[in-house]
A and B are shown apart, each in its own frame.
Chain A
Amino acid sequence: MPYFDVGVALDNLGRLGEGLGFTVLLTVIVMALSLVVALLVALGRMARLAVLRWPMTAYVEVIRNTPLLLQLYYFFFVLPYVGIKLDGFTAAVLALTLNYSAYMSEVYRSGIQAIAKGQHDAAHALGMTFLQTFRRIVLPQAIRIVIPGLGNYFISLFKDTALCSIAGVAEVMFTAKTITAVNYQYFTIYTVCFAFYFIVAFPAARFVNYLERTMKGGYARRRLAHG
């Protein structure tokens, strides 16, 4: 029993693979939503209007100063209790999006605020409106700054989806739990789990590193790269 059993591993590869597929799906959906929500939150936090700024700031602070696991518990166990019944997948998507949007909004905010005032001055002096300045001048420069930071959150989200196993969301961790509950092959099954997470996360992390190095280079690299 304390050894890695190749036969058991192979027998369960399919089910665990399905679980991994579900993990990736959950990650991609939450990331896509968070990329948009976080930008809106960041804009809200930087707004001149206090009505927009205050609620956004409160939201970000609450999320950042409480455990993600507790936030998931709320969505899985407290909301149904007060009459809001969501299926596990929806609850997981909502809770993770809420959490990651708060953190990622801070990345956006620092990226946007890193753009020099002179850039706004120059755009305004050309007669650009606030929106044109943001879309054409600020955002393209800010994106370069935030891509590595957002990429790191992407990887961390991929790993955090494992927490959703507490509520029966059929991602890879929950699948592993279900299998070991029957066959007690903890060593084998959880080792396969390790391998699965690592095989996806490691290349992704290398890719984010690569992006980070590329973004540090000047804009002229774009032209050089295209010949």
Chain B
Amino acid sequence: MAEADSRSMIRLCRLNKHFGRHHVLKDIDLDVAAGEVLTIIGPSGSGKSTLLRCINYLEVPESGEIWIDGALAYRDGSGGHFRGHSGSRVAAVRAKIGMVFQQFNLFPHLTALENVMEGPLTVLRRPRREAIAAARELLSQVGLSDRADYFPEELSGGQAQRVAIARALAMGPKVMLFDEATSALDPELVGEVLAVMRNLAGGGMTMVVVTHEMGFARQVSDRVIFMDDGRVSESGTPDTLFTHPQNPRTQDFLRAILQH
């Protein structure tokens, strides 16, 4: 049984997940320290997104353990507490974790400001005035003060994704998960989103980033892991992993992706 280490923000132990007969995550062990920026790279279908989604329970693993900030968040056979996708216990764990999606998933019926306020109002039960002030502050942090009253349909992809980041930050999360946050963006809009992520990393946020942006992985992350076929097949600092990959699969992947 794993002990929660005080410096460990996320700890996954022997995590397994199937989709039907497909074994997506195979005995994953992973530790993310407080303040660490971890990047996950790997071919599509290797389980990167599923791993990320398991951390905040959007996918429920079949076995293993998940510890978040020293507290047990999931253990197989732990009874009804962790079943289902939306019980109040699960919700409490999720409130500590911010997530940013490839398709932004902003709420289309709410303005940018209302999107950012939604979590604090509904989940944290903050007073409205306080939530508005905090949301304005966050929008200005991501450079979108002038878009507060715009609806998502009126925003560019880059702006929408920055609102989505502000929405996640509004919950005061201890961890931020990025699930291919820039993959759906036009190339000229990627930079503005990466800049916001860079700022967050610089501010000491614990981040787990699934990305195809190798430049970002190299410059910003403290550690890079390469996932292949449901396992973490290589792990190291960006320098060692990008310049001296050990695993032949990592070498192939990097060669293919860095060629263009």
A residues in contact (CB < 8 Å) with B: 116, 118-119, 121-130, 132-133, 136-137, 140-141, 144, 218-220, 223
Q: Could you name 20 residue pairs across A and B whose Cβ atoms are closer than 8 Å? A: A118-B101, A122-B106, A122-B107, A122-B167, A125-B97, A125-B98, A125-B99, A126-B94, A126-B119, A126-B171, A127-B92, A127-B94, A127-B119, A128-B123, A132-B122, A132-B123, A136-B118, A136-B122, A137-B107, A137-B118
- Do A126 and B123 form a contact, CB below 8 Å, given A220-B154, A223-B149? yes
Is the CB of B91 closer than 8 A to any CB of chain A?
A: yes
- The residues of A that contact B153 with a CB separation of less than 8 Å are 218-220
Number of A-B contacts (CB under 8 A): 86
- Closest chain B CB from A168 CB (angstroms): 46
Known contacts A126-B168, A219-B108, A220-B151, then 5 further A-B pairs from the complex at CB < 8 Å, ordered by chain A residue: A121-B58, A121-B99, A127-B92, A128-B122, A129-B86
**Assembly CA distance A141 to B108 (angstroms):** 8
A-B pairs, 3 with minimum CB distance? A127-B95, A122-B105, A126-B119
Q: Which residue of chain A has its CB nearest to the CB of B99?
A: A125
- Closest chain A CB from B170 CB (angstroms): 8
Question: How would you classify the secondary structure of chain B's contact residues: helix, strand, loop or mixed?
Answer: loop
- The residues of B that contact A133 with a CB separation of less than 8 Å are 86
Q: Which residue of chain A has its CB nearest to the CB of B154?
A: A220
Is the CB of B109 closer than 8 A to any CB of chain A?
A: yes
Are B107 and A119 within 8 A (Cβ)?
yes
**Assembly CA distance A133 to B85 (angstroms):** 12
- Do A126 and B167 form a contact, CB below 8 Å, given A118-B101, A218-B151, A219-B108? yes
Is the CB of B63 closer than 8 A to any CB of chain A?
A: no
**Interface residues of B, CB < 8 Å — how many?**
37
Is the CB of B87 closer than 8 A to any CB of chain A?
A: yes
Mark B154-182 against chain A: 1 for CB-CB distance below 8 A, else 0.
10000000001001100100000000000
Mark B74-90 against chain A: 1 for CB-CB distance below 8 A, else 0.
00000000001111100
- Closest chain A CB from B242 CB (angstroms): 30
**Assembly CA distance A116 to B153 (angstroms):** 15
Across the interface, B86 reaches (CB within 8 A) one of A122, A128, A140, A220, namely: A128
- Closest chain A CB from B169 CB (angstroms): 11
- The residues of B that contact A223 with a CB separation of less than 8 Å are 111, 149, 151
Across the interface, B123 reaches (CB within 8 A) one of A127, A144, A218, A220, namely: A127
Is the CB of B103 closer than 8 A to any CB of chain A?
A: yes
Q: Which residue of chain A has its CB nearest to the CB of B92?
A: A127
- Closest chain B CB from A200 CB (angstroms): 32
- Closest chain A CB from B208 CB (angstroms): 13
Are A125 and B94 within 8 A (Cβ)?
yes
Is the CB of B56 closer than 8 A to any CB of chain A?
A: yes
Are B101 and A122 within 8 A (Cβ)?
yes
- The residues of A that contact B98 with a CB separation of less than 8 Å are 125
- Closest chain B CB from A118 CB (angstroms): 4
**Assembly CA distance A116 to B105 (angstroms):** 9
**Assembly CA distance A141 to B32 (angstroms):** 37
- The residues of A that contact B171 with a CB separation of less than 8 Å are 126-127
Q: Which residue of chain A has its CB nearest to the CB of B53?
A: A121
**Assembly CA distance A220 to B119 (angstroms):** 22
Mark B49-79 against chain A: 1 for CB-CB distance below 8 A, else 0.
0000000111000000000000000000000
Are A124 and B85 within 8 A (Cβ)?
yes
**Assembly CA distance A141 to B105 (angstroms):** 13
- The residues of B that contact A123 with a CB separation of less than 8 Å are 107
**Assembly CA distance A223 to B58 (angstroms):** 33
- 192-223 of chain B: CB within 8 A of chain A: none
- Do A127 and B151 form a contact, CB below 8 Å, given A118-B103, A119-B107? no
- The residues of A that contact B164 with a CB separation of less than 8 Å are 122
**Assembly CA distance A128 to B107 (angstroms):** 13
- Closest chain B CB from A18 CB (angstroms): 43
- The residues of A that contact B88 with a CB separation of less than 8 Å are 129
**Assembly CA distance A165 to B118 (angstroms):** 51
Are A140 and B154 within 8 A (Cβ)?
no
- The residues of A that contact B56 with a CB separation of less than 8 Å are 125
- The residues of B that contact A219 with a CB separation of less than 8 Å are 108-109, 151-153
- The residues of A that contact B84 with a CB separation of less than 8 Å are 130
